[in-house]
Structure 1
């Protein structure tokens, strides 16, 4: 009744604005688009225009203050000759490979274990709690735990003297430590997604499999996991996209050091642009990163909206 009343009021307003029947029909078609017009203007103003500006800047030698001189593909050519950039690509790939395994498998096992548990709500809240902490605060906590007065000192007191050092200043080791910190903070979201996916699985196939003798690992491998595949795809692709854009934790814990050995593409982009003042060069890094993320996002959206083809 309320919907009909609001629809009637809307038609009366349209009649007052446009007395012509044909004009009313056209206005009725346009009205829905007017609701999204403010959001579209904001997106174009703050996202599309910024993207176009960044793309153009990547073809200049702009330093953020002086004149923009067009240099063509020079920045991109230098980019792929730059050892720091190539190393950042390697580190980013390590993050992506880790995203294929750790944030996908660990929450899946945990979700299966606590799904039918009597204390499932308590475990969900417990594991989701780190996700409620900002990445900056989480990184500071990890730094405190891994300082020479934290976990390394405790291990040294237990007889592991070689581990009594600051792990965040050891090249390559710090990358895996930061991946672990990222998993600790992001595991809650994936866990909740898996639990929702398990809740939506129909019981009939599982009951039929149990009657046929399937149980334990075989039941989950042959029945539950295939039925959970749409959720698995979403979790996997979200983890991959997130790994490409990782910045906060790395910047707080190591700032890409020591000697720029722990930089990812996002950190290199920030450092070249805002620390070194090479806006044109930094924009070329941002463009390469954006192309990669857009491709992954397109793949993610395609799989999300065509789940039946997964």
Structure 2
């Protein structure tokens, strides 16, 4: 892909004036914001790993969403960079663990139709958020052509003010448009949406969503619609959220903004994240949520497909069915995939 020339912060200052401030994120160690930390045999270790090139094909698909990749979860759990299932779980086909990869790419065909491009991660360190959570089982959906970096504020008068920003990929440098990069996390293969999805942050300090909205999400299906379809290997579900950036004076560096905010000259005092935050302490929820029910199928001759039903919370309190039964296919090196040429 060709990256469009960036624009300067000075040209869009009015779009970055809203400073949405939910509860400050709590670092796992409590030793300092802007970095993640691990306890290694009683010694506190500052996790200062940054991602580089290499990896999948000509680029590293694990270099997301920031240059900073601390492997916080892996350090805490003693895991290798690639999670391997002990019971040959079919989900290993989805996230690449079966093939000893940290992640696997998927795409819809033809490219001229739906332009979704997906990456399903396992334990490759991708997905870290400013609270040092989320760096395993991360899912990304990229949509549309490259664009110029920008942020759009929904305004301080909005009940859910956010700075929705473009997302710049650390390795390719490609910038995807506002609400064209969605990200989230999958569970351990539950066939229905569980209540665990309805919040943000660590369990002991989780910021809960509105209970009524959460219940409406859980009530979409009692059983995954692909659970009894012939040929299904695995059913699962997940939620994705748009990319936002906000001012946070406690952030002393660009670990949780770069490269998304680089062209704006941001060096500190900001953070970016996949927006699963409720936005207030009571009776709130993320204004935009994509909810997916998925089934993994073997279509024969070693060709796998994911079939997806998509629901969405779109600036409302009620999920709406957006798409049903569309398919995406593997798109890694060696796969027949039009996206490899973009």
TM-score bracket for this pair, using the shorter chain length: under 0.3
**Could you say which structure has the higher strand fraction?**
2
Where relative contact order (Cα < 8 A, 6+ residues apart) is larger, the structure is 1
**Could you say which structure has the higher helix fraction?**
1
